[in-house]
Amino acid sequence: MSEVVMDLNTDIKQVLKALKIKDLNPGFSTGSKDGIGSGDSIGSYSPVDASLIASVGSCGKEDYDRVITQAEEAFVEWRKWPAPKRGEVVRQLGDALREKKEPLGKLVSYEMGKSLQEGLGEVQEMIDICDFAVGLSRQLYGLTMHSERPLHRMYEQYHPLGIVGIVSAFNFPVAVWSWNTMLAWVCGDVCVWKPSEKAPISGVACQNIVKEVFEANGVPEGVSCIVQGNYTVGEFMTADKRVPLVSATGSIRMGKKVAAAVGSRLGKTLLELGGNNAVIITENADLNISIVGALFGAVGTCGQRCTSTRRLIIHESVYDEVKNSLVKAYAQLRIGNPLDESNHVGPLIDKQAVDAYLNALEQVKAEGGTIVVEGGVLEGEGYESGCYVKPAIAEAQNHFKIVQQETFAPILYLLKYSTMEEAIAIQNGVDQGLSSAIMTTNLRQAELFLSYAGSDCGIANVNIGTSGAEIGGAFGGEKETGGGRESGSDAWKVYMRRQTNTINYSTELPLAQGIKFDI
């Protein structure tokens, strides 16, 4: 294992060099340039091997205000650029990300702990949203309509909002930022990003890539800003009237605080919060794809996706077969260094996440559940960080308090049902409403699941799992998931303000609704 670590460290140094992060010393700071901050140092320690990757300076209030002022000034110029010209800059950024896909993907994997394939996939999502945004830059359509008044024209158009504040989470340290920024940029907004303090170096790498492209195109300085720090930096943003839209990804508890703070000043929020996602496996399911879908959904990213499968709702006629197949599949999982592509599962993000995982396993047993696949923390060579855990399976009831909560860890709860109506009621019987799926070859079951009487989630899939979304569709959920939509479809509209225009080209001034006002 020592040889692997030595090679890994050498490789990470090369990765950081390729991304222009130049120093690995414990005291290293990216400094105050570009709004990163000159305050206390935040060290990013990899959950892979507990090594310090680098440190960044956190933002104080003065740093933050300087960044916002710069962003305000940049917006005045950036909004004048034609949208297709802004799209051309984003196209070039997509090409730059293609060139940096391998090192950025490795950094994401090493800093966050997800598998290398998932890290590379996250960068591919960034590339894909760039492509989407380029086309969008020529499709920011308004709407024309007929006026009730003669010789009048009515239409609706969209204008950029201004500063878009983005608060991202550690589990997708770069992709979710790109979902917001690429759309906001082609819409004419400027962006101020607070990356997760658990994955700040990936944020610095993105800013370095953006900076090169923007400078080459003469983009005003301040169109892309980054502010590092803990929750206090986010509080600066949520309380700031100069930031009309705050897009925040994270826990439900965090989202409620953001919504209250931004709502108190009548600002706009885009919230992507917790998920408690379920897959229904019917008696008509193709069990081969059902097991694969459930397995990746439950253990991918070590259960740290907002779309991770938490609950498996299984028809009683196939319950034992599904359970036994999952037990066999879990026995074959390889847990270890996520940069080793032979491993399926990497570490949790930190010791706090490990504690939450262990507490959840204890709680499900205390509430009467049965552990089917034992969990636990892995120790020994290769697991020195203390963040590697065994994916676990438990038989439970949907009303258990622990089942009603989202535990960001690889714990899968098995639930049994007898009728389709019961399965849908179990699926919907949680406070969260992000992603859902049904496994069935029965057309009626599939259509019922997708109907008004079916899943109440923002995402409802048939014969694929809950995890993994394409950027072409709007991403988001209902209930305590927040109700926001990011990425594709018409999600661009949240980054703009809508304006109705009426033009009178007659020599009269008729009033609407036939009102007379003669003098």
272 counts as catalytic: yes
Distance CA 209, CA 118 (A): 20
Residue 194 falls in which region: left (phi positive, over 0), alpha (psi -120 to 50) or beta: beta
Please answer whether residues 438 and 445 qualify as being in contact, where contact means their C-beta atoms are separated by less than 8 angstroms. Answer: yes
φ/ψ of residue 134, rounded to 5: -60, -50
Beta strands in 75-217 (DSSP E): 143-146, 152-160, 163-167, 190-194
Find the length of the chain. 519
Distance CA 196, CA 113 (A): 14
> Which member of 272, 406, 480, 486 is catalytic?
272
Q: List the one residue out of 43, 445, 68, 102 whose CA is nearest residue 226.
A: 68
Question: Residue 432: beta bridge partners?
Answer: 479
- Neighbouring CB atoms inside 10 A of 387's CB total 26
- Neighbouring CB atoms inside 10 A of 184's CB total 25
Please answer whether residues 450 and 442 qualify as being in contact, where contact means their C-beta atoms are separated by less than 8 angstroms. Answer: no
The 10 Å CB-count burial string (b at 16+, else e) for 393-403 is bbbbebebebb
SS3 of 310, please? Answer: strand
Distance CA 167, CA 269 (A): 11
CA distance from start to end of the chain: 92
Beta strands in 27-82 (DSSP E): 41-45, 52-57
Distance CA 433, CA 274 (A): 8
Q: List the one residue out of 485, 408, 488 whose CA is nearest residue 170.
A: 408
User: For residue 409, what are its two tokens?
Assistant: 């860890």
Question: Residue 81: beta bridge partners?
Answer: none
341 counts as catalytic: no
Distance CA 88, CA 90 (A): 5
Chain-centroid distance, C-alpha 461: 18
Distance CA 33, CA 23 (A): 16
> Which member of 191, 206, 302, 306 is catalytic?
306
Catalytic residue positions? 272, 306
